[in-house]
Amino acid sequence: MNFSAYLTQGYYDELFQENGVPRPDAELLIKKIESLPENDLLLKQKAAETALLQMGNTFAVYGSKEGTEKILPFDIIPRIVSSSDWQTIERGLKQRIYALNLFINDVYHDRKILKDKVVPEDLIMSCTTYRKQCEGFNPPKGIWCHVTGTDLIRDNDGRFYVLEDNMRCPSGVSYVLENRQVLKRTFPQVFADSNVRPVEEYPNKLLATLENLAPSTISSPKIGVLTPGMYNSAYFEHSFLAQQMGVELVEGQDLVVSDGFVYMRTTKGLKRIDVIYRRLDDDFIDPKAFRADSMLGIPGIMEVYRLGRVAMANAPGTGIADDKAVYAYVPKIIKYYMNEDAILPNVTTFLCREDKERAYVLANLDKLVVKAANESGGYGMLIGPHASRQEREEFAQLIEKNPRNYIAQPTISLSRVPTIVDNHFEGRHVDLRPYILYGEEIYVLPGGLTRVALKKGSLVVNSSQGGGTKDTWVINSEPQPSTSEPPLESQSRLEQPFSSQFQSTTSKQSKGGSDA
């Protein structure tokens, strides 16, 4: 297979320039692919898929007729990000997360930004993710958003834009780590010669971020990854990260509040838990504080949390910062708290809650992308140019009925990457989700999850909507010492939580995370 017939078709291509010449950082990869014997690349693709299948790299699609568990589609042609591009991305993400953390803290305390009318107070008070229970709360170390997945796109102008912020339970980093293991075996020499920055340190960085939340008086904090259970779409990732960090994987039924602390039920009695990395939506955490019908949470845990006797990442209440209507104000938020312009710009956004902007949206539905403010996974979205007249009319009614819940954006081209289709290459649209950890310092994983829209012409990259993934190679301008990925060893623990011995099927709420 070669790229002689590959066309960029007017889109920004991550591997090729407009004239068909490979971008400098992609030259080694392109030469290697074109030097392979006939059908060898297809064999490598098949081998990669088999390896991911053996790793158990799956996700769940709710309501799918084909079954619950699926292998996430993977294409072995990586996306390559230059060192200079990554420096801009990294600086921009650190700036954004720092400002959003200040914003969340301000909203739940003095509300200066609301009093100064930089962000409308009624917009925040009408957020479905606003948590009154968090008013006046001071999280450990003053950090609210410990783990963030920020979705970026590149337009035809070559610039990166922030598409949305995911600050509750962002998913997908396990695929980054496993995709990398597979690609290093697929193109070992090219990978080494291209000076690609490693990603294998993420589990240790995440562990350090969680340990940073524990009181300094605790020398060896006990940490648990809280999962809604095996029916959640990202359950594989929950178990994978727990295993990689060497910490407990727990469900709500494994934990209990006693004597003002949180304990894990084990076969050897109760063991205290100090830090919880929750992959469970706010509503389900504590039936005493939020949804009384939740069977997934731990009764009384919010009171323990407020007393500082257990830490949680991310903190409850962070969802106000990834409401898609609040997203439109992030450049102003950065300017307000940091007196700086946003390094990574937003996509132009129209707020349907504003009369003039709503009128424009309704008159131009055939040109715009419309999104519900608090949906994820590609749900609650209309891509106007690809929608039928009936679909646009139905969405117009939804907007008129609840304008606060909808925003609209121009249709962005989205950059493309060559992708294997049958026995040749075609360009497919991609986005990029880097992962940011906020502990003692802010760390950005070099790369992130490149999601690819596998359907020809599609702009929807979400796995729940038929998208797949690619490995993301960030090129380092300085030589890096060679590193090896850690083996996927099975977790061994003397004290197992009860839910690891059996699974409860009493509630469909096991879906109840906001993993996006």
Contact 383, 460 (CB under 8 A): yes
> Can you give the pLDDT at residue 484?
43
Q: What is the Cα 296 distance to its own chain's centre?
A: 22
d(CA 250, CA 499): 7
Q: What are phi and psi of 498, to 5 degrees?
A: -60, -35
Asked whether the beta carbons of 438 and 37 are under 8 A apart, the reply is no
Task: Give me the percent of the chain exceeding a pLDDT of 70.
Answer: 88
Q: Could you tell me if 42 and 1 are in contact, meaning their C-beta atoms sit under 8 angstroms apart?
A: yes
Q: What fold characterizes domain 348-411?
A: Dna Ligase; domain 1 (3.30.1490)
Amino acid at 276: I
Q: How confident is the model at residue 514 (pLDDT cuts 50, 70, 90)?
A: low
Parallel, antiparallel, or unpaired: how do β-strands 69-71 and 58-60 relate? antiparallel
What is residue 463's predicted lDDT score, i.e. its pLDDT? 72
CA distances (Å), origin 300, targets 281, 314, 315: 16, 18, 16
Summarize pLDDT for 131-187 with one digit per residue, the tens. 999 999 999 999 999 999 999 999 999 999 999 999 999 999 999 999 999 999 999
- What is the structure's pLDDT at 53? 84
Mean per-residue pLDDT, 267-284: 96
User: Encoding tokens for residue 333?
Assistant: 């938020």
Tell me the mean pLDDT in the region 486-498: 40
Say which range, 62-66, 71-75, 499-503, has the weakest mean pLDDT: 499-503
Q: pLDDT class for 486, splitting at 50, 70, 90?
A: very low
Domain segments of the chain as ranges:
24-347+412-493, 348-411
Rounded to an integer, the average pLDDT of 287-301 is 96
Taking the C-alpha atoms of residue 129 and residue 422, their distance in angstroms, rounded to an integer, is 44
Closest CA to 343 of 150, 56, 503: 150
The whole-model pTM stands at 0.90
Is residue 470 pLDDT above 90, yes or no? yes
Q: Give a three-class secondary structure readout of 140-199.
A: HHHCCCCEEEEEEEECCCCCEEEEEEECCCCCCHHHHHHHHHHHHHHCHHHHHHCCECCC
358 CB-near residues (< 8 Å, 6+ apart): 350, 351, 352, 399, 403
Question: To the nearest whole number, what is the mean pLDDT of the chain?
Answer: 90
pLDDT at residue 399 above 70?
Answer: yes
